[in-house]
Amino acid sequence: MYKLYSDAAIKPQSHQCGIGILIVHKQEQLQIKKQCKAKDNHVGEFKACIEALKDLQHHLRHSGKIPRNVTVLYYTDSSILSDSINKQYAKHYQKYIDQIIELESHFAFVLTKWIPDNQNMGAHELAFQALHSS
């Protein structure tokens, strides 16, 4: 089982977005930080989820593992993201939900769980580092 965490940080005036991703398996942790453009923090959170699932898939294949055999616990501090994934619907963000559903289909099972900000500090710090490294 893999634990996957993501978070986004945004500069609204420039639409710069930092993404932080943590992939945790057994005692190993992979930290990833990226940048993208996002019109608001909600879009940033959806994009962070998409990037996290893509990065996990890439990491597994690079490690010789088959994503189809892997169960993923995905954690986010965004309630709109968590609710939208679990409902498989988001009025204003459906194109992102459709991408997430497609990416999740490559794994055996993905369980999405909302967590409070203070339990997502690793991904949060990575997102801020990515945002401020531009």
Q: pLDDT per residue over 104-128, tens digit each? A: 999 999 999 999 999 999 999 999 9
| CA–CA dist 109, 34 (Å, integer) | 25
- For residue 134, pLDDT over 90 is answered with no
pLDDT digits (tens, 9 = 90+) for 57-69: 999 999 999 999 9
Could you tell me what percent of the chain has a pLDDT over 70? Answer: 99
Query: Mean pLDDT, the chain, as a whole number?
Result: 97
Q: What is this structure's pTM?
A: 0.96
Q: What's 116's domain CATH number?
A: 3.30.420.10
Overall number of domains in the chain: 1
CA-wise closest residue to 46 among 2, 98, 87 = 98
Domain holding 82, by residue range, is 2-132
